[in-house]
Structure 1
Amino acid sequence: MATAARQSEMSAAEWEARQQLAACYRIFDHMGWSELIYNHITLRVPGEDHAFLINPFGLTYAEVKASNLVKIDIDGHVLDGSPYPVNRAGFTQHSVFHRHLPDAHCIIHTHTTAGMAVSSCAEGLRPISFYAAAFTGQIAHHDFEGVTIRPEEGERLIANLGTKRVMLLRNHGTLVMAESLPEAFLRHWLLQRACEIQVAAGAAGTPMNIPPEVIAVHQRDLSGVQLPTGPGVPDFQAMVRTIDRIDPSWRD
């Protein structure tokens, strides 16, 4: 009954976005990409350019549901009467991108072990694998300035990101964004795999860089192995089916 009442207070488009984002949080938890009650995945509310959804601070990713996501504006005001607080660091970092980048509809920030390890290395992500080659020339970098709670850091984040939509936050973690949640999900999955392989390869021996001319061909041809439903859509749908079999409560 409470969920039905909550749903009746919003548009169908917002409820659909809430369910998609809640599913993403559960998928990240299932994949082992959560970090206690920290880190964030945010999604713009359709038709509301200055409003986005974020996880309730204090809940684990496994507890996130469509109904308990918090709707805030880019100035940090809660718009849906949610009783939950919002992590200040998450708001500061994500709001600046949602404010200034019209195409950044979904933003993902994580502290995975592999992502933090690679972001802490001077060379960053090296072109040593199938997955890493897809990111060559497409990753921005931002130096660590401490926990992200000061608004003035936002200007430097935007400047350092430039036209790229993937960033290694040095000594901190990874940041990806895209025009849709499925695309952002796939981008994060690919980056995570690339980081995991780099960490493993470094332990196994001496990683070999892929030649630039091969990388160029690889990046040119990648679109040829995608289904026509849109970037990340079939991948995300497959993972939604997986978590539905485990616990469908994210839909509430």
Structure 2
Amino acid sequence: MNVPDSAFSALIFSVALLFSFITGASAKLNTDPKAVAYYEPKALGGSMLTVQREPMNIIISGLSDPAALTNRGVTNWANSIHFGAECLGIHLGGYQAANLGDGNGVVNQTTILREDYKLPIGTCLQSLIGGNHFRIWRQNGPQSNSGALFLAGSAEETAAQNHDIIPNGYDIGRDDIVKRAIAGQTSFSGIIYTTTVQWLPNLLPFTANEINHNIAVDGRVALLTIDAETMGNGYNCKGSGLCPTLNPSTCDQALSKVVDTTIYRTDT
């Protein structure tokens, strides 16, 4: 059979793609990387401090896998390093606001994620005894749309101490998040993450009296780049000890009802 070269190449590609799907090979999610890691807020009329004067000490690069930059995606990544949504979805503290110099002006945080202590209801424990947490803003305005996420990480006291920031809590909180993220591959809900860090030394040149609680910082910002890929076909039906008693088709029926914008955890 005489097959034109272009048609033959397309046929080979289709067969290879089908083989990859059948074998459940890991699939890279990065299909549309952005051209810019971030834009410096100060250069565009913004600030690396929130309106409440807390430092945004971590940036998730706009060059990260797009799947890790959505609200759902960054929450899933956070779950993989043991941070989660607030206890029972209830936010008792105040919202913070920031201007990332992207043309959106001053906007409230996108979300806040708290340390879960590797427990199903761990964020409730964090709300009680304190620990690490971070707030998120997205740089996506008309003036500078990098898609990067700016995080304000900090370690805080117990509820009895009004969740005040612990001594050196901004640097401690940042370092803990980075340490978890770059320790090796992390995974959650069928996605494997590989995170790398670059330290930016001059984005937080603020003195202690310019920062909330008069807490000094070392001035460094961690620029994280997250690579994401699916684990095989993205799910399995091993489940808990009850699963062997169920009809195998039950797993596929459940999968068909999964809402793509929802993060499913054992405590909700």
TM category (shorter chain) comes to 0.3 to 0.5
Higher strand share: 2
TM normalised by structure 1 equals 0.32
Query: Greater CA radius of gyration, 1 or 2?
Result: 2
Higher helix share: 1
